[in-house]
Amino acid sequence: MADSLLVLNAGSSSIKFAVYRVGGSELSLKTKGQIENIGGQGRFHAGELSREIPAANHAEALAHLKGWLQEQDDLGDLLGVGHRVTHGGANFSKPVLIDDKVLTELRALNPLAPLHQPHNLSGIDAVRAANDLPSVACFDTAFHTTQPELVKRFALPERLYRQGVRRYGFHGLSYAYIAHYLARELPAVHGGKVLVAHLGNGASLCAMVNGRSLETSMGFSALDGLCMGTRCGRIDPGVLLYLMQSEGMDAQDLEDLLYRQSGLLGLSGVGSDMRQLLESPEPSADLAVNYFVHQLNREVGALAATMGGIDTLVFTGGIGENSRPVRARFAKQAKWLGITIDATANDNNASVISAPGSRVELRVIPTDEELMIAHQTLAILQDREPD
Ligand code: ADP
């Protein structure tokens, strides 16, 4: 019987998981699922199965997952667990086998990604406490470590750069998957100037040449760049000074405002979900969608300048893969780049949605971060260089 690998993506109140069968260096998906509402009445979903479970914390939720995995009779031996970890800081440019020293370093990065990192690490703690399987950390920042120093710097004093105040970039597992997919399936595209738009609840852009990250719209934190579901995106830092000085806001107030109350939610007052906004009759919902598209056009322009043009623009993430109106509105604004969308292909969610004469090819490629984590984890466990 084939062996298998478990992939975990632990968030504040949910854990997404995937199980892959391993055949040599190849992987095939066995099942995906998630545990929701950790900290309350937990719910476990896997394939057709959906049931309530006790899940007071990550450890209890993972104990349930472990029991369920043991009941599956065709998984063979579990070789290890790959974990999504948001921040690898300046030191982790590749996936890494987790030990106490690595965990200590990763915990020190908690303040840099307060919404994600502590929960990612809770998942790792729970797995390590419950069994002796090897755990591998796969980072959202690692893909961007190829960027030149000039791009990573802020115009701040040197000591702050040395201290780690620099642009890291995120969504790297999604970008690594797209690069991996292009290298395998579309090598000519992979070799060109590719702009990837990862548009989900979190959203960013990555300028890629030859499958390597040159620049991204996110920076030090997951707040910069595009407007997101509840995050503000690009903002004048003077606004933060004003809020502190004139409104008496402290760090906690600002974190709450910028991460949880802004973006599409803040602009619309209706919600953070793109589908909901597109269906809403409220003028503020339309304003939020227009703002999202305007910022997208603007950031695309910035990264097109970095690459000296764009050959291919890839849409991915929940909005990029599905939202025909957002892609159509963007294409209308991005005519200046020589972009012409094929309305029928866009409506059909085809893999190529640009018209034949378009100077930039527009593609839709569903991302698969879990598969990327599985590939990276397997490479580490097999002592190979990860993709
Ligand atoms: P996350 O960043 O949490 O992984 P996703 O990549 O799942 O998020 O993206 C979630 C976003 O995708 C939401 O704004 C949702 O409305 C949007 N989305 C998903 N499907 C559609 C669709 N069919 N049409 C428009 N938007 C969609």
Domain ranges in the chain are 3-139, 189-364
Task: Write out pLDDT tens, residues 81-102.
Answer: 999 999 999 999 999 999 999 9
CA nearest neighbour of 70 among 61, 78, 60: 78
Which pLDDT score is estimated for 130? 84
User: Chain centroid to CA 275: how far?
Assistant: 19
Residues with C-beta less than 6 Å from any ligand 1 atom: 200-202, 229, 273-275, 317-319, 322-323
Which pLDDT score is estimated for 1? 54
Pocket test for ligand 1, best of 319, 321, 327, 329 (most atoms within 8 A of CB): 319
Query: Percentage of the chain with pLDDT > 70?
Result: 99
Q: Using an 8 Å Cβ cutoff, are 19 and 81 in contact?
A: no
CA of 316 to the centre of ligand 1 (A): 10
* CA 56 – CA 271 distance, rounded (Å): 28
* CA 180 – CA 282 distance, rounded (Å): 41
Q: 124-128, 179-183, 214-218, 297-301 — which is least confidently predicted?
A: 124-128
**Does pLDDT of 363 surpass 80?**
yes
Per-residue pLDDT averaged across 149-172, rounded?
96
Q: Which residue has the tokens 């991204």?
A: 216
Which pLDDT score is estimated for 201? 92
Which of ligand 1's atoms lies nearest the C-alpha of 203? 2
Query: Percentage of the chain with pLDDT > 90?
Result: 86
Architecture of domain 189-364: 2-Layer Sandwich (3.30)
- By residue count, the chain amounts to 387
Which of ligand 1's atoms lies nearest the C-alpha of 277? 16
Residues 6+ apart with CB under 8 A from 187: none
* Residue numbers annotated as active site: 140
DSSP-based three-state secondary structure for 22: strand
Per-residue pLDDT averaged across 296-316, rounded?
98
Q: Using an 8 Å Cβ cutoff, are 141 and 86 in contact?
A: yes
CA of 148 to the centre of ligand 1 (A): 32
Across the chain, mean pLDDT equals 95
Per-residue pLDDT averaged across 276-299, rounded?
98
| Residue nearest atom 23 of ligand 1, based on CA coordinates | 322
Task: Write out pLDDT tens, residues 330-348.
Answer: 999 999 999 999 999 999 9
Pocket test for ligand 1, best of 323, 348, 349, 368 (most atoms within 8 A of CB): 323
CA of 274 to the centre of ligand 1 (A): 7
DSSP-based three-state secondary structure for 4: strand
Q: What sign does the CA torsion over 269, 275, 276, 282 have?
A: positive
Task: Write out pLDDT tens, residues 169-221.
Answer: 999 999 999 999 999 999 999 999 999 999 999 999 999 999 999 999 999 99
Which of ligand 1's atoms lies nearest the C-alpha of 264? 14
Which of the pair, 385 or 238, is modelled with greater confidence?
A: 238
| Residue nearest atom 13 of ligand 1, based on CA coordinates | 273
| Residue nearest atom 3 of ligand 1, based on CA coordinates | 201
Which pLDDT score is estimated for 87? 95
Task: Write out pLDDT tens, residues 21-44.
Answer: 998 888 999 999 999 999 999 999
Which pLDDT score is estimated for 112? 85
With bands split at pLDDT 50, 70 and 90, how would you rate the model's confidence at 264?
very high
With bands split at pLDDT 50, 70 and 90, how would you rate the model's confidence at 77?
confident
Q: Where are the alpha helices (DSSP H) in 213-282?
A: 237-247, 251-255, 263-268, 274-279
With bands split at pLDDT 50, 70 and 90, how would you rate the model's confidence at 64?
very high
Query: What is the reported pTM?
Result: 0.94
Which pLDDT score is estimated for 276? 97
Which of the pair, 23 or 153, is modelled with greater confidence?
A: 153
CA of 173 to the centre of ligand 1 (A): 17
Architecture of domain 3-139: 2-Layer Sandwich (3.30)
CA of 161 to the centre of ligand 1 (A): 34
- In angstroms, the Cα distances linking 330 to 36, 174, 298 are 34, 21, 10
Q: Using an 8 Å Cβ cutoff, are 126 and 62 in contact?
A: yes
